Amino acid sequence: MPPRRDAGQAFPIYITVVAGLLFLALAYLAVGQASVNRSGAQTAADAAALAAAQNARDQLAGAWVKVLLDPTKWQLILEGKAGIDNPDAPCGRAEQLATQNDAQLSGCFPELRKYRADVETNKSVGRSVVPGTENVRSKAHAVAEIEPLCTFKPPGVGAKGADLPQLTCRDNKVWQPKPDDPTGLPKPEDLFDVHLADSAG
C-alpha cells in the first residue's frame, strides 16, 4: 500500500488560506484608504467653516469700530444682527480654504453667528478590492460659531463721545474705548471667539 501524501493534500489548503489572508489585508487597506479620505474631508470642512466665521468676525469688529461713538448700536453688532457689510465674503473665504485642503465647497450656509460648510474631496478613495471605490469621494460638514466675548452697560439716551461705556471681556479684561486712541481698542479676537460647534461632524 503506497504511503499517504499528506503534504500534497495540504498544499491546496495552504494556498486557500494565504489567498484569504491576502484578501483580508487588501480589504483592511481599502478601509484605511477610506478613513484617510474621510479625515481629509473633515479637515477641509473644519477649515472652511472656521475661515467663514473668522471673516464674519472681522467684519463685525470693523463695524463696531465704525459706530464706536454711538454705543446704542454696539449690542446689535455684538449679537451679530448687524455689521456684515459683505455677506458673500465669508463663504468666499470658506471656498478658498476648501481648495487649499484639496476639496471643493459644495455648500455654505450662514446663520446668526454660525457658518456651516459642506465639502467634497477632489480625490476619490482609490482602487481597491471593494468595487466602485475609485469613484467615491468623501463628504463632510462642519459648523463654526462666533461667540461674543464682551458685555457692557447700555448707555443712557443720547450718551455719546466721552460717555462711552466700558467693555468687560474674556478673563474680566476691561476696555475703556477712547475714540482718539484707536490703538487702545480691542481687536477682533478680543471681541469675539470663533470655534467649531460641538455638533460638527
CA distance 102 to 41: 9
Task: Select the more confidently predicted residue: 28 or 108.
Answer: 108
Domain count, the chain: 1
Grid cell of 61 as nine digits: 469688529
Q: Are 134 and 124 in contact (CB under 8 A)?
A: yes
Average pLDDT of the chain is 82
* pLDDT for 112: 94
Judge whether residue 200 has pLDDT over 50: no
147 domain residue, yes or no: yes
2 domain residue, yes or no: no
**Percentage, residues of the chain above pLDDT 90:** 59
* pLDDT for 125: 61
Mean pLDDT to the nearest integer, 158-174: 79
201 domain residue, yes or no: no
* pLDDT for 38: 81
85 domain residue, yes or no: yes
* pLDDT for 183: 80
Q: Are 139 and 41 in contact (CB under 8 A)?
A: yes
Confidence of residue 201 (pLDDT cuts 50, 70, 90): very low
Q: Are 57 and 150 in contact (CB under 8 A)?
A: no
CA distance 10 to 120: 49
Nearest to 199 by CA among 157, 148, 144, 149: 144
Mean pLDDT to the nearest integer, 101-105: 93
- Report the 10 Å Cβ neighbour count for 110: 18
CA distance 174 to 172: 6
1 domain residue, yes or no: no
At 192, the amino acid letter reads F
Nearest to 163 by CA among 181, 146, 176, 175: 176
* pLDDT for 147: 97
Tell me the residue range of the domain where 153 lies: 8-196
119 domain residue, yes or no: yes
* pLDDT for 9: 62
Mean pLDDT to the nearest integer, 40-66: 96
Confidence of residue 34 (pLDDT cuts 50, 70, 90): low
3 domain residue, yes or no: no
Beta bridge partners of 143: 116
Task: Select the more confidently predicted residue: 15 or 34.
Answer: 15
* pLDDT for 179: 79
